[in-house]
Structures are given as structure tokens and as C-alpha cells.
Structure 1
Amino acid sequence: MPEIRLWTRYGGSAVRFSRFDDSRILVGTRDLFNSGLGLHVLQLCPTPWGGSAINEVATFRTVSGVNDCCWSQSHQSLAVSALTDGTVKLWDTSLPPAPQPTSIFREHSGEVRSVDWNPAGDCFLSASSDATIKFWTPGRCNSYYTFQEHTDKVNAVAWNAIQPHVFASASDDYTVGLWDVRDSRFLTHINVCHPGGLASCNWNKYSEFLLATASGTSIRVWDIRTTQMPLVDFSSHRRNVCRICFSPHRANVLLSCSVDYTVRTWDIQAQASIATYNLHDDSVYGIDMSVHAADLIASVGRDNVVNVWRASPSHQRLQHFSHL
């Protein structure tokens, strides 16, 4: 599949492939002043000449910028967004775009930095600059529980794909927290001790013990059973890493994006870089890999571009452009 590009009016902050529809993509947008257009639903479509294009299906506008977004893992049309105004919003993308979402959750006192839907249940997490993580269910107006062990901004949360009652959190307090929602328990933390704090974390899809973290230009992979030293330490990005994610198809492949304008893939077994993709002209804030199509990657950045391509040593640009 050649690369497909979509130009937007605002910079992209997050991108997620749908679990239910292999051609559906969710994109969160914001601009430099933390106001933004909102949440976009995009569709990969075949073209008459045998290629592919990206078309906008719907845009759910928000007054404040979207820091993160994710699809529901239990309902095909539901999506949740993390906003700079401190709210978490739940949307039904099967309905016509409306000024108000299905639900608005207002408990955070700082901007919401990250959201993640549980891979096996009807619940999700939100992480905030108020140093808390909240556990939500869609049908309940207030949070089920608030996790409060961090002492600084929490920039990311991620559920464990194999043990869906466990999640990790990445914070500016230089630690990664490990938690168990069955008894609302703080399990332990990993001291990363990077002066800039932690920007992202993600679990390996094939091992409940392997966790990747991003701090500054460093990407580290940990075995949570022995956290004194990381198993792998990658430092090839020239500037700070914004987001990381493990491949859902290859246990040894990790994806990263950075403010150095690049997206990179890594082999954690060989402890080496696989490829570098220079598809953006500014900071890249969001990446994801499709659970349906092996090696299919999406990225968004501050250059107002959404890229979708299949990872390979060489790729060609598809000369088709759409506008939101």
C-alpha cells in the first residue's frame, strides 16, 4: 500500500485505528494555542484507479483542543477524547455530529493528557496534569475510582493487553506507575529518573511483563518483574519522543514518533532501528498500528497532515489529497 496523505486545518495530536472496522481511523486535533477543531472520523477508501484515499466521515467539533483520543473496545461507534479544558468527552460516531457529546466527564482539575479504553471491558482511563488517573464506565456520570500516587502530571496511561485489570501510567515525576483495578491498588513504580519526565508508555501485546517507556530522546523496554535496569535502551531520536506503541502483529516491533519530525520502527530483540520515516514537516505527536492489517501505520503531527502507509524499506506517495 503506498502512502496516503490527508491535509487538515489543525495540527493532529492523536490517531487510532478502529478495532471493529479495518478502514476506520480516529484523529484528535488541536492548534498551537490549545484550541482546536476536535475529533475526526476518517475512512480509507479504494479509488477507481486501484489505489486508496482518506475521506472524512464526520467531525465532532470541540471548543478546546484534543490531547488524546481512543475508540471503544466494546462498542463499534463509541469514542472518547481527552481535552485541554480538563474534560473527558464520550461520542457516538454513528450519530450526526452535534455540539454536545453523549457524555461529558468534568472531575479533573487540569487538562486531560491521555485516555485508553480497556481491551476486554466496558471501561476506560483518563490521565491528567492534576497528577491523577480516573477510572470510568460509560453509563456512570462520575468516576468509579481515582488513582493518586503520582506527584506530577500524568502524561499517559495504557492497559495491559494480556492482563486487562492491570495498567501503567507515565508521569513527569520520573516514574511509571503499575496498577491493578480489581482492588484499586497501586502495585509498584519504575524509577526512570529522566529530567524531563515520561511522555508515553505502552505494553507489549505478546508479553504481560514487557513495558516500553519514552522519556526525552530515550525509549526503554522493561521487564516489570526486574525493574532495576531496562532490557533495551534506544536513543536514536534527535529530539523528544512523543508517543510509542508496540505492534499488534510482531512481538519484537516497537513504533515511535518524535518532535524531530520522524516516525521510527525498532526491533527490541535485535536492539536495533529497523526504519526511519520522514513523512512530516513538523513535530509528530500521534502514531498507531492497525490490528487488522500487518504493518499498517498512521501518524499525525503539527504540520496538519495525517499519513497512512504500510511499513517497508521503500514506499511511494499516492498523489491524492483530501481536505477537512
Structure 2
Amino acid sequence: MPVFKVPFNGYSVKFSPFYESQLAVATAQNFGILGNGRLHVLQLSPSPANPGQPISEISSFDTADGVYDCCWSESHDSLIVAAVADGSVKLYDLSLPPTANPIRSLQEHTREVHSVDYNVVRKDSFLSSSWDDTVKLWTVDRPSSVRTFKEHAYCVYSTAWNPRHADVFASASGDCTARIWDVREPASTMILPAHEFEILSCDWNKYDDCVIATASVDKSIKVWDVRSFRVPVAVLNGHGYAVRKVKFSPHRGSVIASCSYDMTVCLWDYMVEDALIGRYDHHTEFTVGVDMSVLVEGLLASTGWDELVYVWQHGMDPRAP
């Protein structure tokens, strides 16, 4: 299976929504504590230029601080948004030479930007969340944010747009709550006291716009129905340490991918009794980034602090040649 070595510690990996063979990887030097960052754009072979290399680099962009997350534009196949540790949100255009990038650097957050997410319905807008406890809404044509959402009492680690409603998103915070927001409303519309420890990630079900998953330092993933959120729909236990990222499958409504500080990637089906349907232990350091391809069913990618990016088909060994 394809594997690629990056010079810094991997933080996030995202498949392109336009090309099944492209993915972006956010990396940070010195485990993201101090130092530079780099955004990589990788190509899965077979490539005419690199027939013997399963993954090759199309381009890369250096930053003075670590890159913690990235997301692809849903309207421009060459546009990538990056969350940077200096508090900036940077936009890169692959169709332009490296010297012309970034095409924009949005500097409003006062601390590290930890996540970015692009709106799949209203395709000119995206979110950023930060350790300054806020979420900001941006559009690609404006140099300043449209709105700042400030209710969380601690770092906002993750945001996710609802896959069907252009104005609705969720946020996950170190204050142990997940919140549901509607950008047309003055305040959050729902507060989920989802875990007793910090919540590091959240994501919406792509087939049921009322179902959300949260992942926590308490090692668990919980699935919630926002129409009746007193009790979780499912609690998924199996990771040995904090769950860093959670992602619903774009192909199967009940399937979730997760990655953890226990160095594993897990696949779950929260609708069945034995929910754990796959465990991959190919990383040798904290695994902090995982994604599933929208275009190829069962295709997974992960990255971690071992400076490796893996791409593999569910059911295969990521380390197999």
C-alpha cells in the first residue's frame, strides 16, 4: 500500500473532493510545539512521471509555524485552506506558482488555529476554530471574517459543517461540550455536555443530518441524535488513549473512522453490537489525522507524528508492499 515520508510530524490528511488520486497533508515541526510547518499536496500513482513511486509530491508550501489542519475548497479544485499555529488561516492555489502563494493570509485569531472546514452546501464559505476559544466564519472573497462565534470556555479543537444545511455547523471544545450553531441565530442552538473530558473532534453523519459523533480524551466516541440528545445513540470504546479525530464515512451511514494517541486507526459500525469492524496499527507514533475518500469507497488515509502518510483500502494491510 502507498506510504509517503514527510519531513515534519503529520497533523492532518484530506482527500481531494475533485480528484481521487490527490490528497493534502498538514505537517508541523517538533511535534507542533515550536518550529516551521509545511502543507503537502500528494498524488497517488500510477503517474506517468513516477511509475515506480506509489505516492509523489505535486507541490508543497512552507510556513513559519506549524500547520495543524487543512481542507479543500468545494468549488475550486486547486484551492486549499490551512490552519496555522501563528493564528492565521492561509489560502493556497495550486494553479499558481509557489512564489504567488499563499494567495491570502487571514490573521484574526489570537492563538493557534486548530481546524478548518469547508461548507459543502454554500461553497464559498469555511470555518476556522482556534485555541483562542472562538470559531470564525469566512468567505473566500472577503479579507475579514463574516462572524465570530464565542461561547466556548476553552480551546475549540474541531468544527464541522452539516452536510445538508448551509447554515448549520457543530463545534467541539476542551470545555467538554459540543455545540450546534445556526449562523442565522445570535447564539448556539444546542449545547451537548457530551463528555467529562476534553472533546477533540466532531463530525456529522453524511446520511442523517441529525446525527453527530464526538471524540474525546476519555478514549471514547459517542454518537448523538440532536433531536433527542439526553442519551447517546452509541458509545464506542476500544481506543487505549485519547481519540484525536473522528470521521463519518461518505459511503455508508453507520460507519465511522477514528484515530488516536494509541497509534491506531479504527473503523466502527455504530449500528451493530460488535461495533469495531477494523483496527490498523501501522503507525509508530501518535496518529492524529485520518480521512476517507469521497470518490473511492473504502479508501482511507492517515498521518501521524511518525512523519508518515499511509493510503490504503479497508481490509488491506497499510504496510503491505
Q: Normalised by the shorter chain, which TM-score bucket? A: over 0.9
Distance in 2 (CA, whole Å) between partners of 1:199 and 1:181 is 22
Contact between 2:310 and 2:318, CA under 8 Å: does it hold in 1? no
Q: CA deviation at 1:316?
A: 6.3
Give the structure 2 partner of residue 141 of structure 1: 143
Q: Deviations over 1:186-236 (max 9, x none)?
A: 1111002423x1000000000001100001201000001111111100121
Assess if the C-alpha contact under 8 Å between 2:79 and 2:93 holds in 1.
yes
> Can you give the 5+ residue segments of structure 1 that lack an aligned partner in the other structure?
320-324
Counterpart Cα distance in 1 of 2:140 and 2:74: 12
CA–CA distance in 2 between the matches of 1:255 and 1:244? 6
Once the 2 structures are TM-superposed, how far is the Cα of residue 299 of structure 1 from its aligned partner? 0.3
Q: Is the 8 A contact 1:5 1:318 kept in 2?
A: no
* Larger RCO (CA within 8 A; separation ≥ 6): 1
Structure 1 residues 15 and 316 mapped into 2: Cα distance closer, same or farther (>3 Å)?
closer
What pairs with 1:96-111 in structure 2 (closer than 5 Å)? 96-98=97-99, 100-111=101-112
In 2: Cα distance, 1:100 partner to 1:147 partner: 28
2:302–2:311 contact (8 Å) kept in structure 1: yes
Q: Specify the alignment match of 1:81 in structure 2.
A: 82
Q: Distance in 2 between matches of 1:133 and 1:310?
A: 34
Q: What is the aligned partner in structure 2 of residue 60 from structure 1?
A: 61
Shift of 1:52: 6.8
Q: How big is the shift at 1:38?
A: 1.4
Match of residue 175 from structure 2 = 173
Question: What is the DSSP-based 3-state SS (H/G/I as helix, E as strand, rest coil) of the residue aligned with 1:182?
Answer: coil
1:255 corresponding residue in structure 2: 257
1:29 to 2:27 alignment: yes
**Inter-CA distance 255–25: structure 2 relative to 1 (3 Å threshold):** same
Cα shift readout 1:233-275 (whole Å, capped 9, x = no counterpart): 0121001111010000011110000111100000010041001
Residue 288 of structure 2 is matched in structure 1 by 285
Query: Unaligned stretches of 5+ in structure 2?
Result: none
In the other structure, the counterpart of 2:269 is 267
CA distance in 1, matches of 2:5, 2:186: 42
Q: Which amino acid aligns with 2:141?
A: G
* Secondary structure of 1:46 counterpart: coil
Q: CA offset at residue 34 of structure 1?
A: 3.5
Corresponding residue for residue 46 of structure 2: 46
Instruction: Give aligned-pair identity as a percent.
Output: 43
| Match of residue 300 from structure 1 | 303
The residue type equivalent to 1:237 in the other structure is: H
TM-score (norm 1): 0.93
Query: How many pairs align?
Result: 315
Aligned to 1:311: 314
| Paired residues of 2:195 and 2:216 also in contact (CA < 8 A) | no
Q: Distance in 2 between matches of 1:36 and 1:232?
A: 39
Residue aligned with 1:98, SS: helix
Task: Name the counterpart of 1:91.
Answer: 92
Tell me if the contact between 2:15 and 2:291 (Cα under 8 Å) persists in the aligned partners: yes
Name the Cα RMSD after superposition: 1.7
1:224: which partner in 2?
226
Structure 2 CA distance for partners of 1:182 and 1:75, relative to 1, 3 Å: farther
Is the Cα contact below 8 Å between 2:93 and 2:101 reproduced in 1? Answer: no
Preserved CA contact (<8 Å) 1:60 1:98: no
Give me the whole-angstrom Cα distance separating, in 2, the residues matched to 1:316 and 1:47. Answer: 20
| Structure 2 Cα separation of the partners of residues 274 and 100 of structure 1 | 42
TM-aligned CA deviation for residue 315 of structure 1: 3.0
Distance 1:184 1:120, change over 3 A: farther
Cα deviation, residue 185, structure 1: 4.0
CA distance in 1, matches of 2:160, 2:208: 14
Can you list the C-alpha shifts for 1:86-114, whole angstroms capped at 9, x where unaligned? 11111111112127411111111111111
CA distance in structure 1 between the aligned counterparts of 2:154 and 2:200, rounded to whole angstroms: 12
Distance 1:18 1:148, change over 3 A: same
Query: Given that residues 312 and 318 in structure 2 are in contact (C-alpha distance below 8 angstroms), is that contact kept between their aligned partners in structure 1?
Result: no
Q: Distance in 2 between matches of 1:114 and 1:212?
A: 16
Residue of structure 2 equivalent to 1:322 = none
- Which letter does structure 1 place at the counterpart of 2:24? L
Q: Distance in 2 between matches of 1:117 and 1:316?
A: 28
Write the distance in 1 (CA, Å) between the matches of 2:175 and 2:318: 42
